Amino acid sequence: MTQPAIISADDITALPDGELKGAALVKRAMADAKAVMVVRRARILSHPDLADRLVKDLGYSKAGNWNGYVPPEFDADGNRNQSLRRALLIELLAIAEDRDGTP
Question: What pLDDT digit, counting tens, does each position of 55-100 carry?
Answer: 999 999 999 999 999 999 998 888 999 999 999 999 999 999 999 9
Length of the chain: 103
Torsion over CA: 73, 78, 80, 83 (sign): negative
- Classify residue 34: in a domain, yes or no: yes
Model pLDDT, residue 1? 44
Whether the predicted pLDDT of 20 surpasses 70: no
- Classify residue 23: in a domain, yes or no: yes
Q: What is the number of structural domains in the chain?
A: 1
Class of residue 66 by CB neighbours under 10 A (exposed 0-12, middle 13-18, buried 19+): buried
- Classify residue 17: in a domain, yes or no: yes
Instruction: Report pLDDT digits (tens) over 33-56.
Output: 899 999 999 999 999 999 999 999
- Classify residue 53: in a domain, yes or no: yes
Total-model pTM:
0.74
Q: List the domain range (segments joined by +) for residue 44.
A: 9-100
